[in-house]
């Protein structure tokens, strides 16, 4: 169901848990795609926090074969993260990695983060995605959201 998320064990992956989120298939923007994408991100953050996770990596959900326009999706995702952190200042989530294997998605995340948080409040990282270092993250201070 669009906007839903569940937790599973990571198997052999080097992390504590996996959150599987279902983003919407883009139709035309008039079928609650934004709301469903926002809900999927919010639920993912809540599930990770419910297990006392300190960090989460979030890809450009619903882009690619689901057809959600990349700039719109990365903005919606970034706004959902911002809103979650703003309303959950005591969350165990301290690092959020917005990442993807698409340069277009990474550019969309960077643009959205710069707009929403300001250049001085983000840290860009690149590296080996297999080591969990791709994308960038924001360390929330509880202020400025």
DSSP one-letter string for 116-128: HH-GGG-EE----
Distance CA 95, CA 55 (A): 5
25 — phi, psi (to 5°)?
-85, 130
pLDDT at 28 over 90: yes
Q: What is the pLDDT confidence band of residue 143, given thresholds at 50, 70 and 90?
A: very low
Domain 5-138 CATH assignment equals 3.40.50.970: no
Check residue 30 and give its pLDDT: 96
User: For residue 124, what pLDDT band results from cuts at 50, 70 and 90?
Assistant: confident
What mean pLDDT do residues 73-88 have? 96
DSSP state of 23: P
Give the pTM. Answer: 0.85
Strand partners, 96: 56, 138
The half-sphere exposure of 65 on its side-chain side, counting CA atoms within 13 A, is: 1
């Amino acid at each position: 169901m669009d906007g839903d998320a569940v937790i599973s064990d990571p198997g052999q992956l080097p992390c504590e848990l996996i959150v599987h989120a279902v983003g919407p298939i883009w139709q035309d923007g008039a079928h609650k795609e934004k709301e469903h994408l926002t809900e999927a991100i919010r639920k993912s953050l809540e599930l990770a926090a419910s297990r006392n996770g300190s960090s989460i990596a979030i890809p450009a959900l619903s882009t690619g074969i689901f057809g959600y326009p990349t700039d719109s999706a990365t903005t919606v995702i970034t706004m959902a993260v911002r809103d979650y952190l703003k309303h959950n200042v005591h969350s165990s989530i301290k690092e959020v990695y917005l990442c993807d294997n698409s340069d277009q998605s990474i550019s969309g995340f960077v643009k959205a983060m710069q707009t929403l948080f300001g250049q001085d409040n983000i840290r860009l990282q690149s590296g080996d995605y297999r080591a969990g270092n791709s994308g960038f993250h924001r360390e929330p201070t509880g202020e400025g959201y």
